[in-house]
Structure 1
Amino acid sequence: MSDKQAIVSGLIDEWRVLEELLEPLDEEQWLTPSALPGWTVHDVVAHIIGTELMLLGEQPPHTGLDPHTLAHVRNEIGAFNEQWVESMRRDSASTMLARFKEVTGKRAQALAAATDEEWNAPAMGPLGMTTYGGFMHIRLFDCWMHELDIRDAVDQPRTEATDRDRLGMQQLCASLGYAVGKLGKAPAGSRVAFELTGALPQRIYVAVDGRATVVDALDGPETIGIRLDSWLFVRLCGGRTKADRHLDEVELSGDVKAAKHIAEHLAFTI
């Protein structure tokens, strides 16, 4: 399976899973606060719908809201997202679910029809210039993270690993060097190993030589070790929780002081 096929299949599958997750929720559950400041489950879904509508060529309707006045809006992307969220805030759960199905259905058709030329064409993504295909990988990651947000809010966890988890983790780990070096301030020369346990077990290595870079293997002894559950790792990187709430769930080794600082500064998502 090509990268294009894997990402398209993974994104469409993610929408299907979200639909199945949302279908049985009642109005009260849709209004449950999520781990994202200021957002309920309803708002999370509105954000997903809004982004996919944007990719279909639509712009958010004028709501009269100045999103910059909201404490949880930290940048222009957040302000843009909030316009979509505000425009749907009064819609019922049934209306939201129907709209989600309609919009993701149209997007699935657009993805299936995309040529290789369109897939590889330059495109502006949330992190800067990429390709359209690169942006779709980010879309899969974003929806995957929001599935976790909704599951946490309504207490419907899952533990099984799927292909979309592999693609989500792949996108997550692409920015881990930034988290370790820029945010975590790992000392020069560090060799960092993350050992993830649970549903998505794997080892991830970061070498710090001038800049921190994710590598396939360390070229020397491990100097910093961080061992934790894979879903906790995802939540920390996504800023959904903080390491100081999970001190008994994170094992640190080597330069423990540096390891603790990295674990406390993994959050890098926008």
Structure 2
Amino acid sequence: MTDTVPDRADITAKLSAEWDALTRLVDGLDETAWRTPSALPGWTVFDVIAHVIGTESLLLGEPTPDVDVSGEHIRNDIGTLNEKWIESLRPLTGPQLLERFREVTTRRLKALDELTPEAWAELVPTPVGLAAYGRFMRVRLFDCWMHGLDIADGLGVAAEEGGPIAETAFAELLPGLGRSVVKGAGATDGTGVTVEITGPVPRTLHVAVVGTRANLVESLDGPADVVLTLGSGLFARLRGGRTSIDEHAGEYTLVGDTGLGDRLVRTLAFTL
């Protein structure tokens, strides 16, 4: 992956399209369906949309609601901030929330359109550290795309898991994969791992361990110690901590050091 600042027109168009996709997922739901548990602990379908509204409202400069929140799913300060927005919106009906979502995202698109090239490239604090604002917006695209999967999985319907948006969002799943190989799976110096991702977003990923660090590489110097093959949807959900590999027996294969591979599939989750 490169640190090049993403193209503003491309990212903005994809954000707009993804927000439209989220709208299609929830438009017309009755109140019972709106309150269906999503794939995220403690959050309903309603809460997921409320979370997106909260994040985009913050980016518009709106103050965080001053409300009390609690819950086992709140693990840190960011979680508390997210929950404050969600709690403040819970009294709304589903259609009222959707109207708020449309209004906020329309204002965000206008704000993005008015950004100068300098502001798009400016380094700002982001969930992935200090990075260009444009990279931050790619993280936002990833976040919204993942939340589309969360909603679809909760409702038991299909979501768009491939295509241009998924191709761009998928890039945010790759940094830190080396950490999962070393810190999570316990791979040692000289180990090579290949992850074959099939399905809507196919990828062949090679991770080489040098000393106590591991990085994505174009190719390995020799045969991989283990080859993990799985679909892009499962890979995304595992990386996002949305599911456990124990719920997906038969949906992946391991060739080579299966002990290493088993540890890896159980430690793919990361927090973005």
Q: Deviations over 1:96-150 (max 9, x none)?
A: 0000000000101111121110011111112321121111111001000000000
Amino acid corresponding to residue 51 of structure 2 in structure 1? H
Distance 2:111 2:41 in 1: 32
1:30 lines up with 2:34 in the alignment: yes
Q: Deviations over 1:4-36 (max 9, x none)?
A: 222222111111111121112221111000111
TM-score by length of 1: 0.94
Deviation of 1:245 after TM superposition, in Å, equals: 1.7
Amino acid corresponding to residue 210 of structure 2 in structure 1? D
Distance 1:141 1:265 in 2: 20
SS across alignment from 1:207: strand
Instruction: Indicate if the aligned counterparts of 2:161 and 2:233 stay in contact, CA closer than 8 A.
Output: no
SS across alignment from 2:134: helix
Instruction: Indicate if the aligned counterparts of 2:68 and 2:84 stay in contact, CA closer than 8 A.
Output: no
Match of 2:149 in 1: 148
1:50 lines up with 2:54 in the alignment: yes
Number of matched pairs:
266
Match of 1:260 in 2: 262
Match of 1:169 in 2: 170
Match of 2:3 in 1: none
Amino acid corresponding to residue 63 of structure 2 in structure 1? Q
TM-score by length of 2: 0.93
Instruction: Indicate if the aligned counterparts of 2:64 and 2:84 stay in contact, CA closer than 8 A.
Output: yes
Instruction: Indicate if the aligned counterparts of 1:159 and 1:199 stay in contact, CA closer than 8 A.
Output: no
1:133 lines up with 2:134 in the alignment: yes
SS across alignment from 2:42: coil
SS across alignment from 1:248: coil
Amino acid corresponding to residue 255 of structure 1 in structure 2? D
Aligned mate of 2:232, from 222, 230, 233: 230
Distance 1:46 1:177 in 2: 33
SS across alignment from 2:9: helix
What aligned pairs does 1:235-246 form with structure 2 within 5 A after superposition? 235-246=237-248
Q: 1:218 to 1:103 in 2, by over 3 A?
A: same
Deviation of 1:159 after TM superposition, in Å, equals: 5.5
1:6 lines up with 2:10 in the alignment: yes
Query: After TM superposition, what 4+ stretches of structure 1 lie above 3 angstroms from structure 2?
Result: none
Deviation of 1:3 after TM superposition, in Å, equals: 2.5
Amino acid corresponding to residue 244 of structure 1 in structure 2? D
Q: Deviations over 1:28-87 (max 9, x none)?
A: 11100011110000111111000000000012211133x4xx211111111111111111
Distance 2:202 2:128 in 1: 27
- Structure 2 residues without counterparts, runs of 5 or longer: 1-5
Instruction: Indicate if the aligned counterparts of 1:186 and 1:262 stay in contact, CA closer than 8 A.
Output: no
Instruction: Indicate if the aligned counterparts of 2:119 and 2:133 stay in contact, CA closer than 8 A.
Output: yes
What aligned pairs does 1:109-128 form with structure 2 within 5 A after superposition? 109-128=110-129
Distance 2:20 2:183 in 1: 36
Instruction: Indicate if the aligned counterparts of 1:228 and 1:250 stay in contact, CA closer than 8 A.
Output: yes
Amino acid corresponding to residue 269 of structure 2 in structure 1? A
Distance 2:96 2:119 in 1: 32
- Structure 1 residues without counterparts, runs of 5 or longer: none
Distance 1:25 1:181 in 2: 44
What aligned pairs does 1:188-227 form with structure 2 within 5 A after superposition? 188-210=189-211, 211-227=213-229
Distance 2:111 2:207 in 1: 37
Q: Which moved more, 1:105-114 or 1:172-181?
A: 172-181
Distance 2:32 2:114 in 1: 38
SS across alignment from 2:250: helix
Percent identity over paired residues: 45
Q: 1:196 to 1:132 in 2, by over 3 A?
A: same
SS across alignment from 1:48: helix
